[in-house]
Structure 1
Amino acid sequence: MLEYLLVFLGAAVPWIEIMIVIPLGIIRGLSPMWVMILSFAGNMATILLLIIGFQPIKEWMDRRKQKKGKGESKRQQRAKKIMNTYGLPVLALAGPILIGTHIAAFIGLVFGAKKLNTAIWSAVSIALWCLVFGILTAMGFDFFVNHT
């Protein structure tokens, strides 16, 4: 039972997330189905906390920007262009393998994505990647166990 709790907590931590937790849990011998479900739940729990708590962070960022008297940096302009070109779905779907789900959700929110849309696309992305990592790990692990 403790190992399944660790799967949930590991998936909730940014930068550890599902890409690491799912393969480790399955290789450890835990049920692939429960590892995927708990990884999804752990990752979504902190994504939802980020979405709910985003407004105070956004207000702080706006105040900080006003104090400095600067507009958007070149990096911010580039990120905004990517967000406007490809949109939240691509950002959310690519997030787990490129920058992490939490950062992808945060970037989407910073550049004006609605909270509900961010939650939905994050859930779709996390569910998809949980399945991909879970199935590939289980199939690969079974292949090596059965062919050695």
Structure 2
Amino acid sequence: MSGLFDGPFWQYAMLFVLAATPWIELLFVVPLGVAMGLGPVCVALDVFAGNTLPVFLIVFGYDRWRASRPGTAATEGPRREGRRRTRALRIWNNYGLPGLAMAGPLLTGIHLATAIALLFNPDRKKLLFWMTLSLLLWTIALAAASYGGLEAVRHWLARA
């Protein structure tokens, strides 16, 4: 007799929820899924979706929240930009966002990295592109490393 939560569907659902949870990053969830014996490609797709969904929700939720606040730049209309701020923002948009996105899963977690990036008010399409690309690259690398590491351990144990 099998339990209600037996089977791979629930295991993948658990991985999706863990991946979508802030502070529980793909650095933990991908190796966990591979160690559970689930297929690394399916684990990677599941964890990627679980991490990407909250990033989009954070970005679009932040824009709605900011627009609803009275007295913010979003409700007051355009404000005059100084030369220094314009230059700093241009540098941030060109170099800072990719760096934060790529280091985010390792340093702060992708959800917090997204929130930090929003404070600099980057172009939303660029923000979503870089965060998604970062998640994709990290997920592929972790799935490959986890699978390769698990196979190496199995091979080593079989020889012992």
Q: Give the TM-score normalised by structure 2.
A: 0.75
Query: Does the CA contact (< 8 Å) of 1:58 and 1:110 recur in 2?
Result: no
Match of 2:116 in 1: 107
Alignment pair present for 1:91 and 2:100? yes
Q: Which runs of 5+ in 2 are unaligned?
A: 1-8, 73-87
Out of 84-93 and 129-138, give the one that drifted further. Answer: 84-93
Q: Give the TM-score normalised by structure 1.
A: 0.81
The number of residue pairs the alignment matches comes to: 132
Alignment pair present for 1:18 and 2:29? no
Report the CA distance between 1:23 and its aligned residue.
Answer: 0.4
User: Pairwise CA RMSD of aligned residues?
Assistant: 2.2
Larger Rg: 2
Alignment pair present for 1:135 and 2:140? no
Structure number with the higher helix fraction is 1
Distance 1:94 1:61, change over 3 A: farther
Match of 1:122 in 2: 131
Distance 1:62 1:26, change over 3 A: farther
Query: Does the CA contact (< 8 Å) of 1:93 and 1:125 recur in 2?
Result: yes
Query: Does the CA contact (< 8 Å) of 1:14 and 1:102 recur in 2?
Result: yes
Q: Which runs of 5+ in 1 are unaligned?
A: 65-79
Percent identity, aligned pairs only?
33
SS at match of 1:121: helix
Match of 1:46 in 2: 54
SS at match of 2:146: helix
SS at match of 2:121: coil
SS at match of 1:91: helix
Match of 2:38 among 23, 27, 30: 30
Task: Kindly provide the CA deviation profile for residues 11-48 of structure 1, in whole angstroms up to 9, marking residues without a partner as x.
Answer: 11111021110000000111100000000001001111
Instruction: For 1:124 and 1:62, locate their aligned partners in 2 and report how far apart those are by CA, in whole Å.
Output: 34
Instruction: For 2:152 and 2:67, locate their aligned partners in 1 and report how far apart those are by CA, in whole Å.
Output: 51
Report the CA distance between 1:107 and its aligned residue.
Answer: 1.1
Match of 1:145 in 2: 154
Out of 123-132 and 100-109, give the one that drifted further. Answer: 100-109
Distance 1:60 1:111, change over 3 A: farther
